[in-house]
Structure 1
Amino acid sequence: MTTQKQRIAVLGAGQIGTIIAGMLAEQGHEVTLADAAQAQLAHAAGKRFGTAVVDASDLAALRAFLADRDIVVSACPYFLNKGIAKAAAETRTHYFDLTEDVATTAYIKELGKTADVALVPQCGLAPGFICILGADMAARFENVRTIKMRVGALPLYPTNALRYNVTWSVDGLINEYCNPCEIVFDGQPTVVPALEGIEGVMIDGVAYEAFNTSGGLGTLTETLAGKVRNMSYKTLRYPGHAEIMKLLLRDLELADDRETMRRILSHSAPFTRKDVVVIFVTGVGERKGRLEEESVVLRYDGNDELGAIQLTTASGCVAMVELFLAGKLPARGFVRQEDAILADFLATKAGTRLLHEARGADATALGHTLALKQAA
């Protein structure tokens, strides 16, 4: 594997895809940002990367576009990723995406059994960075009792009844609020309903609620099967959000009318860069016969130039591309997020940025641990 200049296509010129394209271009790669809408590409004018109008749902056009690319990164809605992954495999283009969708990941995993290229879904924040942190936490114990992963992407200044602003894909948000959620309970993988399991969480003096959402564990339930007694992923929101979403999705049955739900969220919860991302991972297990607990809390604040969810999602994806090019991930087939070693992940350019821009004592501790490993 090589870290030399690569020809990289980024599909989807939304809030995340554009940042990914810029970060990869800054690392010296030949990047083309593609989208089905010319208007969506207009804000990329003058950037360090090229643009192209490509409809990712047109598989013939997509295959032609990918024919001379080394890598494709999909920042498209999850429902397009099966076709994109298939086209990538057919054109021998290494594939990365941001999907949280369990069915899409299962399809890509099956595709990876015969693919000559690497297929790396679920990059970003959750799944993504959180899975790498969770696997690292589990490895700290000789016997693992509990791993809890909590992630919130929230407005810094909530102003509506939902106490929420959309900071990434509306389709992905609805998907994770509707689909079954994988957990490990009493040593057995199982599924539980989304929007349930509500618990109160206090982090640095701020009150949140946490509840089940789909896809955040990625492939960890399979990876840690038989190694952890209880493991869960929950989304953090400000208190009261889950009950409103239950009203909309269940009582009003908008889970069966996602286009209406999409319009409601787009209208009532506009995008903001004044956001905050909170990451909270706790592990309980045995070390040398004693039961111990460890926690990692990281916080990222957005600003007028770059939102926190943009930073964390784009950096998580780009770090995986860097690791792949450095030969620190499998060269072909299905690649899990937890195939990445946390120290290697944080040592990439994008990972180092994640570490440096995090707030909190745990960010300092992670940086110190990384420095010690690098020195050794």
Structure 2
Amino acid sequence: MRQITVVGAGKIGATIASFLHGTGDYRVTLLDRDAAHLQSLDLASEIVRKPVDIASELTAGDLRGQFAVLSAAPFHLTRVIAKAAADAGVHYLDLTEDVASTKAVRTLAEGASTAFIPQCGLAPGFVSIAAHDIASRFDSLDTIRLRVGALPRFPANALGYNLTWSTDGLINEYIEPCEAIVNGRHVLVPAMDGYETLGVDGVAYEAFNTSGGLGSLCETYEGQVRELNYRTMRYPGHAAIMKVLLSDLRLSERRHILHDIFTHALPTTPQDVVVIFVTVTGQRGNRLQQETLARTIPAQDFMGAPRTAIQLTTAGSICAVLDLLSEGKIPAKGFVRQEDIALDAFLANRFGGVYHG
């Protein structure tokens, strides 16, 4: 039985712990700074709960003897957790979308005897795997476009949005510069720009640039595509209101205020849906062709309990990658990109199968 530590006992971290314990293949320890919160979680008693202030107390000693550490902590703690994993000589996986944090993980992975696999969630994560798989079937490439939305099924406010995951992560992706390939060049473009409309399964959405969703795809495809970008999908009207908050009211300069507004004004909901729309265009057989992978994944029961769509897709993705690592189906040392993971193997996995839609 593999020993696993999960860092961060929020909604996603607790779900990861539950999923892994439920397989019977992993012995799980869950770390979080909030001891009362840890004890309040409705989790199996066999899951070890250990209060640790990650920012100031986490050391290699907390991780030695583990097969892997999985980080579901806020992105600003990524470097601390990855460094402890490196010092302990254990595999490291995370869910971060933050570009700077991932660069720090890449540096730690240089010469490492264990695997460092960041960005194992939905986007980046599954969409990177899917885009790379589709792109591999073209003779030459023109565009790769990734669109993802984590949304309430029943929007009931002007933003058309409910909190479904990390508030800090949400704000970060709305503000930080976004990587893209434009006219064949790897560039940074502003968040909230690139506005477009699209439809999936008869539902209208808008989409705009947000940070972090491409993972390492820009490096992988620079010089091979004319255009590569990632945009977040929302219900129509969301972007206009966010621009008022971020630009006109300048809350992008006062993130703590925006955090308080979202936390106190936007309710969470268990009735959510994840929408995925990945499109690749290029030459195949001397013809310009397009291939699209589209998924709409609702909240549903999984492993004997109701799960939100964001729990299924995010926790399910990192658990699938851990399984594949444990089974020797992906590289076991150094920096591992999501593109290094085969889509067929991912979808055949007991957790990756949630993406069949």
TM-score scaled by structure 2? 0.95
Partners in 2 of 1:46 and 1:286 — Cα distance?
Answer: 52
Letter in 1 for 2:21: A
Residue 317 of structure 1 pairs with residue 318 of structure 2: yes
1:113 is displaced (CA, Å) by 0.7
Letter in 2 for 1:26: G
Partners in 2 of 1:240 and 1:24 — Cα distance?
Answer: 39
Corresponding residue for residue 365 of structure 1: none
Alignment of 1:235-250 (within 5 A): 235-250=232-247
Alignment of 1:191-230 (within 5 A): 191-230=188-227
Q: 1:351 to 1:48 in 2, by over 3 A?
A: farther
Partners in 2 of 1:39 and 1:251 — Cα distance?
Answer: 40
Residue 13 of structure 1 pairs with residue 9 of structure 2: yes
C-alpha contact 1:70 1:93 (8 A) present in aligned 2: yes
Please point out which of 143, 168, 173 is paired with 1:171: 168
Alignment of 1:73-222 (within 5 A): 73-222=70-219
Corresponding residue for residue 233 of structure 1: 230
Q: Secondary structure at the match of 1:228?
A: coil
Residue 50 of structure 1 pairs with residue 51 of structure 2: no
C-alpha contact 1:151 1:278 (8 A) present in aligned 2: yes
1:349 is displaced (CA, Å) by 1.3
| 1:149-179 C-alpha deviation (Å, 9 max, x unpaired) | 1000000111122110111110100000000
Corresponding residue for residue 333 of structure 1: 334
Partners in 1 of 2:53 and 2:60 — Cα distance?
Answer: 11
Residue identity (%): 49
1:286 is displaced (CA, Å) by 0.8
Letter in 2 for 1:315: G
Partners in 2 of 1:45 and 1:281 — Cα distance?
Answer: 35
C-alpha contact 1:162 1:244 (8 A) present in aligned 2: yes
C-alpha contact 1:160 1:268 (8 A) present in aligned 2: no
Q: Secondary structure at the match of 2:320?
A: helix
Corresponding residue for residue 371 of structure 1: none
Q: Secondary structure at the match of 1:182?
A: strand
Q: Secondary structure at the match of 2:226?
A: strand
Partners in 1 of 2:45 and 2:345 — Cα distance?
Answer: 29
| 1:249-277 C-alpha deviation (Å, 9 max, x unpaired) | 12111112111111111112122110010
| 1:96-150 C-alpha deviation (Å, 9 max, x unpaired) | 1000000000111111113222111101100000100111111121011111110
Q: Secondary structure at the match of 2:103?
A: helix
Corresponding residue for residue 348 of structure 1: 349
C-alpha contact 2:295 2:355 (8 A) present in aligned 1: no
C-alpha contact 1:10 1:34 (8 A) present in aligned 2: yes
Partners in 2 of 1:117 and 1:167 — Cα distance?
Answer: 32
Q: 1:47 to 1:294 in 2, by over 3 A?
A: farther
Q: 1:303 to 1:330 in 2, by over 3 A?
A: closer
C-alpha contact 2:8 2:31 (8 A) present in aligned 1: yes
Partners in 1 of 2:108 and 2:114 — Cα distance?
Answer: 10
Aligned residue pairs total 351
| 1:178-221 C-alpha deviation (Å, 9 max, x unpaired) | 00111111111111100011101111111100000000000000
Letter in 1 for 2:19: M
The runs of 5 or more residues in structure 1 that have no matched partner are 359-376
Corresponding residue for residue 24 of structure 1: 20
C-alpha contact 1:273 1:303 (8 A) present in aligned 2: no
The runs of 5 or more residues in structure 2 that have no matched partner are none
Q: Secondary structure at the match of 2:351?
A: helix
1:68 is displaced (CA, Å) by 2.6
Please point out which of 284, 289, 305 is paired with 2:286: 289
Partners in 1 of 2:349 and 2:151 — Cα distance?
Answer: 26
Letter in 2 for 1:29: Y
C-alpha contact 1:9 1:33 (8 A) present in aligned 2: yes
Partners in 2 of 1:268 and 1:25 — Cα distance?
Answer: 34
Q: Secondary structure at the match of 1:58?
A: helix
Q: Secondary structure at the match of 1:79?
A: helix
Letter in 1 for 2:330: L
Partners in 2 of 1:157 and 1:231 — Cα distance?
Answer: 31
Partners in 2 of 1:37 and 1:174 — Cα distance?
Answer: 23
TM-score scaled by structure 1? 0.91
